[in-house]
Amino acid sequence: MHLSGSAHIPSAMQRLLVTRFHLLLLTVTLALTGVGFFRIPENFAFPAHWSGSAADWLWPRHALLVAPLVQLALMTAFFLLGRLLTKNHYAKTQHIFDPALTLIMTVVAASQLGLLLTGIGSDLDFIRVTGFGLGAALFLLGVVLFEAERHTYAGLRMPWPIRTDGAWRLVHRVAGLSFGLAAIGLVALAWLDAGAGALVMGFAAALLLPPTLAGLATLALRSR
């Protein structure tokens, strides 16, 4: 009997966390990079940090290469993660990993757009706009996690179980507070116009530190 379509696809090949939309985001970032190298003078330096009215930290034009490299590294890591997950773990975590990768890649693409606009002399500081937008999104996420009730498929997902309702609630409140504080920090950096360098580092910290703290909390409380 002949089977066609997805029946021939191995189950591991179906567990992909990298989608066409992520490829689209990478394509957009590559396009922004190409336009940047075409439109921005070779000797241009991006003001990455301000001290009073003078820039005391400058990035060369080659800083434009960082964004697509970061996105390629992220897509590679998530692709390998999807291949390593079991079918059960994939079903339980896809709804978290997919939007997480989308959010991070969108922030990277938005930062690249901000550098391009700065390089061509635009008055719109899109990296600051991204800081305000990401801060608002993370604050909302923090509130949702802080108030979350235990659910089979919703909430944080770790390789080890959180055995009790009290531990589950504590972990989610740690995560919620962490995201809330990260959001406040991002908005403060954007409001104070600390510069592209400080904001980009703030983006990385706001997206990586809260999940790390939540993971450490689950590890500490997994036996409770």
Name every residue whose Cβ is closer than 8 Å to that of residue 50 and which is 6 or more positions away in sequence.
Answer: 56, 193, 194, 195
* Residue 173 falls inside a structural domain: yes
pLDDT attached to residue 223 = 56
Residue where a domain terminates, one of 124, 151, 169: 124
Considering Cα of 70, then 74, then 75, then 79, what sign does the dihedral take?
A: positive
pLDDT attached to residue 150 = 63
- 119 and 23 belong to one structural domain: yes
* Residue 1 falls inside a structural domain: no
- 153 and 194 belong to one structural domain: yes
* Residue 36 falls inside a structural domain: yes
Condensed to tens digits (0 to 9), the pLDDT of residues 174-210 reads 888 999 999 999 999 999 888 899 999 999 999 999 8
- 114 and 189 belong to one structural domain: no
- Which residues in the chain show pLDDT less than 70? 1-15, 150-163, 221-224
Number of domains within the chain: 2
* Residue 85 falls inside a structural domain: yes
pLDDT attached to residue 1 = 41
* Residue 6 falls inside a structural domain: no
* Residue 11 falls inside a structural domain: no
* Domain limits for position 139: 126-224
Q: What's the predicted TM-score (pTM) here?
A: 0.83
d(CA 144, CA 177): 10
- 111 and 151 belong to one structural domain: no
Give the closest residue to 45 by CA, choosing from 33, 60, 56.
Answer: 60
pLDDT attached to residue 155 = 58
- 84 and 154 belong to one structural domain: no
- 108 and 155 belong to one structural domain: no
* Residue 188 falls inside a structural domain: yes
Residue 16: Cβ-neighbour burial (10 angstroms; 0-12, 13-18, 19+): middle
- 116 and 181 belong to one structural domain: no
